[in-house]
């Protein structure tokens, strides 16, 4: 590391103290309470809707697939996410002779083998600006993503957001995303949450009845607020969650209603009038005036609650676990050391996505090279020397394509400290076989 000698001495002394205390602090477990989601300021969500309205007004009155207003909407959302520290990707596709785009935003960190996604379609119909359909969902998940960054939330699971193109043409963008995701990557998505029309001016509070755990997360949240909900009955196939559900991924979501009429019983339950939930559905009057602030606020907060709840803990790995929790001291700027696990009883080769959970306590991980060594001696570099800088500790699950390696035998975690001053130790090393 490259600190001045004086600061190094302080850092080393501090590290030693932390090292002593570390043993006294129980490791976090799945049973630990999940951090509470922050309130999502509805004023921020409404500002995003105002901006989307301005984009539509400056681009022929809509934000539809293949029109300039759509790409301008995507660029607007992307810029805010890039500034907040997200890793964004624009995925391009063609539909009805026009180029379409999906925006994917990954929040760095979390278990890469357990991904929670939240998504909304960003396109409107050609007849209007699409502020409720679906600026409302797009703006709500944007503000939730910004709240994750603002609060520095570190989810246990990996968190990803998606803004879909060409939903109005038949879920085209989300289908393209799911169909082009390798099967191994699709298998990592533990849940997809969809938000399409969540601010209808005459709102109902509908919860998708797909995955029971996701449904319960939303229903419990609204029950805690004393807001009655109903199961969304017409949703199947009607929005982007269908693309994920058709691939076997657990889905859920929220909806406040479209052109259907609110019944008198529902008026009793939610207020409003026995007219359409959104009389401007797919019309030019779907503007910023076509929003219920209460519904937008409640659903934005419900989204944040679900994101924090569903990403707050990792689900214990299924499969056969081989772990070594013995501490192994890492000599400063010295020889490599190893921690070993002896794998037995597994048939055939290791998987193409072998989870390698590594926990190393160290005060400057940039000093370290970390490798997995298969029983036949083949080394797989998990972390190269010089990466990670002055950060403390490694607590990461790497994924290794070990499909060319026989599973049974002695596997090693090999660690070498290649720079003077900072020191540390291997705390634990775990392999999980399916
Ligand atoms: N198809 C969606 C609107 C829509 C209609 N019914 C549902 C049920 C659940 C979610 C969305 C919808 C659109 O026009 O974008
Ligand atoms: Ca709020
Ligand atoms: Zn629509
Ligand atoms: Zn929609």
**pLDDT bucket at 317, cuts 50 / 70 / 90:** low
Q: Which ligand is nearest to the CA of 254?
A: 1
Strands 394-400 and 354-362: antiparallel
If you compute the radius of gyration of the chain from its CA atoms, what whole number of angstroms results?
25
216 and 318 in a common domain: no
Q: Which ligand is nearest to the CA of 127?
A: 3
Residues 53-75 pLDDT 10s:
999 999 999 999 999 999 999 99
Instruction: State if residue 235 touches ligand 1 by the CB under 6 angstroms criterion.
Output: yes
pLDDT exceeds cutoff 90 at 332: yes
Residue pair 252/191 in contact by the 8 Å Cβ criterion: yes
> Which residue would you say has higher pLDDT here, 19 or 417?
417
Domain C-terminal end among 269, 291, 311: 311
379 and 295 in a common domain: no
350 and 203 in a common domain: no
Instruction: State if residue 133 touches ligand 1 by the CB under 6 angstroms criterion.
Output: yes
102 and 155 in a common domain: yes
Residues 243-288 pLDDT 10s:
999 999 999 999 999 999 999 999 999 999 999 999 999 999 999 9
Return the biggest CA–CA distance within the chain.
Answer: 76
Residues of the domain holding 405 = 3-34+314-433
252 and 119 in a common domain: yes
- Per annotation, catalytic residue among 143, 167, 168, 232: 167
Count of domains for the chain: 2
Residue 167 annotated as catalytic: yes
Domain C-terminal end among 264, 293, 311: 311
Report every protein residue that has its C-beta within 5 angstroms of ion ligand 3: 133
pLDDT exceeds cutoff 80 at 318: no
Instruction: State if residue 255 touches ligand 1 by the CB under 6 angstroms criterion.
Output: yes
**pLDDT bucket at 236, cuts 50 / 70 / 90:** confident
Atom of ligand 1 nearest to the CA of 241: 10
pLDDT exceeds cutoff 60 at 218: yes
Instruction: State if residue 232 touches ligand 1 by the CB under 6 angstroms criterion.
Output: yes
Q: Whose CA is nearest to atom 7 of ligand 1?
A: 235
pLDDT exceeds cutoff 70 at 334: yes
Instruction: State if residue 293 touches ligand 1 by the CB under 6 angstroms criterion.
Output: no
396 and 301 in a common domain: no
- Look at the block and give the residue holding tokens 């390696």: 405
Residue pair 427/359 in contact by the 8 Å Cβ criterion: yes
219 and 199 in a common domain: yes
Residues 145, 127: Cα–Cα separation, whole Å: 29
Residues 427, 166: Cα–Cα separation, whole Å: 48
Q: Whose CA is nearest to atom 9 of ligand 1?
A: 235
Atom of ligand 1 nearest to the CA of 258: 5
Residues 30, 314: Cα–Cα separation, whole Å: 6
The three-class DSSP label of residue 337 is strand
Measured in Å, residue 236 CA sits from the centre of ligand 3 at 14
DSSP structure class, residue 332: T
Domain C-terminal end among 285, 311, 337: 311
Atom of ligand 1 nearest to the CA of 206: 9
What's the CATH number where 68 sits? 3.40.630.10
382 and 282 in a common domain: no
What's the CATH number where 417 sits? 2.60.120.260
Instruction: State if residue 236 touches ligand 1 by the CB under 6 angstroms criterion.
Output: no
The CA–CA distances, whole Å, from 153 to 108, 156, 223, 273, 315 equal 10, 10, 25, 40, 18
300 and 250 in a common domain: yes
372 and 233 in a common domain: no
344 and 208 in a common domain: no
Instruction: State if residue 260 touches ligand 1 by the CB under 6 angstroms criterion.
Output: no
Q: Whose CA is nearest to atom 12 of ligand 1?
A: 238
Query: Residues with Cβ < 8 Å from 22, sequence gap 6 or more?
Result: 361
The three-class DSSP label of residue 105 is strand
Instruction: State if residue 215 touches ligand 1 by the CB under 6 angstroms criterion.
Output: no
Count the neighbouring beta carbons within 10 Å of the beta carbon of residue 232: 24
133 and 63 in a common domain: yes
Pocket test for ligand 1, best of 126, 253, 258, 290 (most atoms within 8 A of CB): 258
């Amino acid at each position: 590391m490259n600190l001045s000698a004086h600061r190094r001495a302080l850092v080393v002394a501090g590290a030693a103290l932390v090292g002593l205390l570390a043993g006294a602090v129980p490791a976090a477990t799945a049973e630990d309470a999940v951090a509470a989601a922050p309130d999502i300021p509805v004023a921020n969500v409404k500002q995003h809707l105002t901006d989307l309205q301005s984009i539509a007004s400056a681009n022929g009155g809509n934000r539809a697939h293949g029109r300039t207003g759509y790409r301008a909407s995507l660029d607007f959302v992307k810029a805010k996410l890039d500034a907040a520290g997200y890793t964004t990707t624009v995925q391009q596709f063609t539909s009805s002779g026009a180029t379409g785009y999906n925006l994917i935003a990954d929040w760095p960190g979390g278990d890469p083998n357990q991904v929670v996604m939240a998504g909304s379609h960003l396109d409107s119909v050609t007849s209007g600006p699409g502020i409720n359909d679906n600026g409302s969902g797009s703006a709500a998940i944007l503000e939730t993503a910004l709240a994750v960054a603002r609060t520095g939330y570190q989810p246990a699971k990996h968190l990803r957001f998606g803004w879909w193109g060409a939903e109005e043409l038949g879920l085209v963008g989300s289908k393209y995303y799911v169909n082009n995701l390798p099967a191994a990557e699709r298998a990592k998505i533990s849940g997809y949450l969809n938000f399409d029309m969540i601010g209808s001016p005459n709102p109902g509070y509908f919860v998708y009845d797909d995955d029971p755990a996701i449904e319960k997360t939303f229903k419990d949240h609204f029950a805690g607020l004393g807001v009655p909900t109903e199961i969304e009955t017409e949703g199947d196939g009607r929005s982007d969650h269908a693309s994920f559900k058709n691939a076997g991924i657990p889905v859920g979501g929220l909806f406040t209603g479209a052109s259907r009429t609110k019944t008198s019983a529902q008026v009793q339950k939610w207020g409003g009038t026995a007219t359409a939930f959104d009389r401007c559905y797919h019309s030019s009057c779907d503007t910023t005036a076509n929003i219920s602030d209460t519904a937008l606020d409640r659903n934005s907060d419900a989204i944040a609650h679900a994101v924090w709840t569903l990403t707050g803990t990792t689900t214990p790995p299924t499969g056969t676990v081989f772990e070594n929790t013995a501490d192994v001291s890492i000599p400063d700027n010295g020889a490599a050391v190893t921690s070993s696990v002896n794998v037995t009883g597994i048939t055939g080769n290791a998987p193409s996505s072998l989870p390698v959970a590594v926990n190393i306590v160290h005060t400057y991980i940039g000093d370290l090279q970390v490798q997995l060594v298969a029983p036949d001696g083949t080394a797989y570099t998990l972390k190269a020397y010089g990466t990670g800088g002055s950060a403390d500790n490694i607590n990461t699950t790497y994924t290794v394509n070990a499909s060319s390696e026989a599973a049974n035998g002695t596997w090693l975690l090999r660690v070498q400290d290649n720079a003077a001053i900072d020191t540390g130790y291997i705390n634990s090393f775990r392999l999980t076989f399916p």
